[in-house]
Amino acid sequence: MIEVRATAQAAQAAFCDAVIQVAPLGVRDPLANPIFEQALAKNYLIFDAYVSGERRVDLHPIVLTAQQHAEAVRCALTTAKLVSAIASRSHDDPQEAARYGFSPAVHRLAAASHSARDRHFLYRVDLLYGMDGFRACEINADCPGGHNEALGLPLLAQAAGFWSGHNPTSVVAALCDALCALRHGEGTIALIYATAYAEDLQVCALVQRELHRRNIPAVLASPTALRRMGKGLRIGKERISVLYRYFPTEYMDGQRNLSAIADAVEHGEVRTLSNFAEIYTQSKLAFARVHALSDSLHDSDRAGLRYIPLTHAVTDLDVLFLLSQRSQWVLKRALGRVGEEVFVGSLLGDEDWKKVIEKARSEHEQGEAWVLQKFVPQRPIESPYGPLLLTLGAYVLDGNFCGYFARVTPESHASHSALCLPVFVLPDTGKEP
């Protein structure tokens, strides 16, 4: 176990004294049981359980103490509030909005949601388990994923015999509650996804199944199926009252029905989750703007900066400095998704690092935003597979925590091939761990 020096605060000391662990189940490979393996697909619609022949999901659970859980939730909620507040300044400040490099079409959609006060959102705040606590490395605000694993893996772990902690994840139920509330008893909920991607279908089909269980009409469709008729949007003969969008806002650019969708949103004819304005929060540039604008924050908000690694626009730092400090930085495309276009300096050689820095600076100057984020040394967690690094995705729905999506990797950077595990929280005994 890794020993960490205790801080002055008792809560921080308690956090540092306890190492997060993956609890081994009685069976080394529970998913080798065909009942569990079949349940992944049948019950939870996880049809992509393998990447390059290796399983990307498992049932051995990550176990958090009550203190660790409280700290993770605090980090996620504080970061979400702070970053979204900074990102929202773009709506009333054209100069600030221009920094993000979005196309006019994306700005149009964001403005429609903002004008209509269409505010509902689902975030997944990705937390790194650092040496002295959790740190938020990004916010997936525009259509976060992981719903299937977040729902299914804890339930399967319990079926495999794990009952030592509380399952804190209710993201699918909470999401459906929110969608039903937005519907106001009328119309159909459209679950919009990129039809070329099986993962996107899995998420939307899972949500649709839960809505149908509640006798709520819900249809699966591409955004291209939406058309405006009179006041509102329709898919075929179905009048759409709510859009659940698992389709990135920036991908809407170029679609011929974009103006129709924006007009319907702006006039309050359809509600959305997440709203299009969250594209600013989605951009990793918002993390850089939090630090750049830190002097304008209230003292209480400024304290939340401890959860957010130092982040800069890639053009804010000198090239020679970046080349000499390669191991201290992580380079990210501001709208990169599913772990793509993330370059960890310590994992690259000098020449490769130079190439990606030059590419990113060139693209940033042409309007494609890139950021540099201070590298967060991570504290390994104990597991049946050896020491691993944890990225703990915390779901936040309209400002409230509603669960985890956890991934572990042997090195810094959680990509699509990371191993997904269930998360449980131990009871609060009232004693320090």
For residue 133, which of 62, 61, 70, 60 has the smallest C-alpha distance?
A: 70
Q: Is residue 5 part of a domain?
A: no
Contact, 341 vs 415, CB < 8 A? no
Residues 382 and 351 in one domain: no
Per-residue pLDDT, 430: 60
Q: Quick one: pLDDT at residue 411? A: 82
> How many structural domains are present in the chain?
2
Does one domain contain both 385 and 357? no
Residue listed under structure tokens 């936040």:
396
pLDDT bracket for residue 32 (50, 70, 90): very high
More confident residue, 318 or 2: 318
State the DSSP string of 352-410: HHHHHHHHHHHHHHTT--EEEEE--PBPPBB-TTSSBEEEEEEEEETTEEEEEEEEEES
Residue 29 inside a domain? The answer is yes
Domain identity same for 395 and 356: no
Domain-embedded: residue 96: yes
333 shares its domain with 194? no
Are residues 143 and 26 both part of a single domain? yes
- Is the domain of 352 the same as that of 224? no
* 4 occurs within a structural domain: no
Q: Record the tokens describing residue 292, joined without a space.
A: 């750049």
The per-residue pLDDT for range 81-121, each reduced to its tens digit, is 999 999 999 999 999 999 999 999 999 999 999 999 999 99
Q: Are residues 86 and 178 in the same domain?
A: yes
Q: Find the CATH number of the domain harbouring 317.
A: 3.30.1490
Q: What pLDDT is stored for residue 17 in this prediction?
A: 55
* 46 in any annotated domain: yes
369 and 388 fall within a common domain: no
Q: φ, ψ for residue 296 (rounded to 5)?
A: -90, -5
272 and 146 together in one domain: yes
Mean pLDDT of 326-331: 96
- pLDDT > 70: what percent of the chain? 94
Structure token pair of residue 126: 């990705």
- 16 compared with 152, residue with greater pLDDT: 152
Which pLDDT score, from 0 to 100, does residue 337 have? 83
Residues 317 and 180 in one domain: no
Average the pLDDT over 388-413 and give the result: 94
User: What is the rounded CA–CA span in Å between residue 64 and residue 422?
Assistant: 11
Q: Which domain holds residue 407?
A: 10-283+378-425
pLDDT in tens, 110-154: 999 999 999 999 999 999 999 989 999 999 999 999 999 999 999
pLDDT, residue 433, reads 39
